[in-house]
Every structure is written in C-alpha cells, then in structure tokens.
Homo-oligomer: A and B are copies of this chain.
Amino acid sequence: MTDAAAPLSAHAAFLVGQLGFHTAYRFADLLAPLDIKPRHFGMLKLLGQHDGRTQQELGEALDIHRNVMVTLVDDLEARGLVERRRHPTDRRAHAVYLLPAAHALLARAEAVVESLDTELLAPLAAEERATFLDLLQRTAAGNGLRPGIHPGLTR
C-alpha cells in the first residue's frame, strides 16, 4: 500500500533534486545577460584550471564525453572566449587556451554565483550556512562527485 503520509519533502533525495533544479534554473536566468549558459561557465572554469591542455587530455582527466567537450569548446570559440592552437609537440592535437575575454566573463559569472549563494542561503543563520556547506561537501564527496565537475557535463 502507498503510504500517503510520507511526503516527498521528507526525503533528502527529493529535496536535493528540488533545490538543485531550482538553483540551476535561477543560475541560467542570472547568466542570461552574459550570453552564456551554466554549462559554458562550468567548462570555462575547468579550462581555466587546465589552460593549454588538449581536448583529449581534458576529456579524459574530467571524464567528459568527447562530443560534449567538442560542442562546448566550439561554442566558447564562437563567442571569442577560447582558442584552439596546434599542440607544440603533437601535431594532430589541439590545445585549448582561454582568451582575455574569458577571464573578464569568468569574473562576472563568479559574482553571479556569489549572489546566488546569498539568495539560496538567506533562510539560514550564519552558523547554519557553514554547517550546510560542510554537509553538502561531504555528501558530494561521499557519493563520488568530483569537485567542480557538474554531472550535466559527464552524463
């Protein structure tokens, strides 16, 4: 029998999904004036940490599917945010480099993440926010999620 008394909001898994999708939609809305989507931001952040690596190296290191990687780098290149250059030693490979516009955009997008954090955590007291962050980090790590890599990029 279905237990109608067990609401979805009593399940951490449901709440995490509800908050995660809400936050993703809000992030997309807030990023729209910058003309990028959340996945472009996520990829730019990762590229910034691995500047000059080849697409293949990046894909393997980050467990991002080759097609996703190529499509996102194409988008970023068309927006003048990254460029592919021939790899100095491997002639068939292309290394990806952030362009100056990407650094400026990343700084603006980081400010958006900050404001989204503030909005999301507004219902909690300061010490609760620190507790929440710690619990989120340990839950993410314990479930095998790699820091800074959104599952939307790898699935």
Give the contacts of A39-97 with B (CB-CB under 8 A).
42, 45, 48-49
* Total copies of this chain within the assembly: 2
Count of interface residues, chain A, beta-carbon cutoff 8 Å: 66
Of all chain B residues, the one with the shortest Cβ separation from A3 is B110
Chain B residue contacts of A12, Cβ below 8 A? 117, 120-121, 129, 132-133, 136
* Bound CA–CA A122/B135 (angstroms): 12
Chain B residue contacts of A114, Cβ below 8 A? 11
Residue contact B148 to A8, C-beta cutoff 8 Å? yes
Chain A contact residues: over half helix, strand or loop, or mixed?
helix
Which of B4, B20, B141, B148 is the one whose CB lies under 8 Å from A21? B20
Residues of A within 8 A of B (CB): 1-4, 6-25, 27, 38, 42, 45, 48-49, 103, 106-107, 110, 113-114, 116-117, 119-124, 128-129, 131-133, 135-143, 145, 147-152, 155
